[in-house]
Structure 1
Amino acid sequence: MSQPLSNRQRITDLIARFNQQSGRALVDLPAWYFCDNEQDANECAMLVLNGIKQATTSSLYWFKANNEILPQVGDLAIFSDWHGKPLGIIENIAVTITAFNQITEEYAALEGEGDKSLEYWQRVHWDYYQRELEGSGYQCHPEMPLVCEQFKLIFKGSE
């Protein structure tokens, strides 16, 4: 009986299949899941796979607090389920810094979550940013700068 694949092996296999299909020669890609809890992470991943979720948004403060490099147009990333199983590869097609209170109905719809309304987006994201910034020294406020990433799904994993 064969052993189940580790997530690291699944990522390696996903990159190899992507390279074969795209003609690229990537060795590694960042891999992460959406959100901060299992239900939302898995739901968002399925929304991406179904072509509904086409954007994600973190606070600029999170990048600063964690000494992370800001995403750029053209960046590729593997998204996974909550348990780290890789599901596909996305490519950033737009990255902007926008204040929380300047997010538009159109952008909220691109996030693809809930009823896709701005009101829903504001409610769930405000709660998320409160958790994201806890203990960071940064506080949520209406003018808080957000890193808005629009992406396209360029490769679906298959297992």
Structure 2
Amino acid sequence: MRAMELGSPGELRARLNSLVLAGRKTATTGLLAEYAEETEGLEFVGERLALLSDDGRSVATLEITGVEQKSFAQVTWDHALAEGEGDTSLEEWRAGHRRFWEREGTPVDDDTPLVCLTFRAEATAGG
């Protein structure tokens, strides 16, 4: 089973994992370029992934329910809302994601290709 790590290590990853476990986060967005850098294939509908904590422990199993490639500008409010991070508008979501990726060293523009995933989570026993 492949694994998924949300956000960056530390407080952000812990918060995002908590949102998943609470059922509030059912989507995530990644840079298509990261798949090439990591020589990873895209997730596929029905695939199960281990959601990892900072220490590499599985805290949940995610079942992928949707995979879409789109540009940054094409991300919908429905997808942004499903990310469950408390954004109150698509503009707020975009600003927050731009800041995150810029801090990570990969600034994005409206044409940057993304992968939008939706999933359902099942907590891992003992996780």
Q: Which structure has the larger Rg?
A: 1
Cα deviation, residue 110, structure 1: 0.4
Tell me the residue number matched to 1:127: 99
Task: Identify the structure with bigger relative contact order (alpha carbons < 8 Å, sequence gap 6+).
Answer: 2
What is the CA–CA distance in structure 2 between the aligned matches of 1:96 and 1:41, rounded to whole Å? 23
* Matching of residues 23-102 of structure 1 within 5 Å: 29-102=1-74
Q: CA RMSD in A?
A: 1.7
Structure 2 unaligned runs (5+)? none
Structure 1 unaligned runs (5+)? 1-28
Secondary structure of residue in 2 paired with 1:67: coil
Query: Closer, same or farther in 2 for the Cα pair 1:114/1:98, shift >3 Å?
Result: same
Q: Which has the higher strand share?
A: 2
Q: Which has the higher helix share?
A: 1
Secondary structure of residue in 2 paired with 1:58: strand
Count residues in correspondence.
126
Say whether residues 1:142 and 2:110 are aligned partners: yes
Cα deviation, residue 132, structure 1: 4.2
CA contact (8 A) 1:42 1:81 kept: yes
**Amino acid of the residue matched to residue 72 of structure 1?**
F
Runs of 4 or more above 3 Å deviation: 131-134
Tell me the residue number matched to 1:151: 119
What is the CA–CA distance in structure 1 between the aligned matches of 2:105 and 2:52, rounded to whole Å? 23
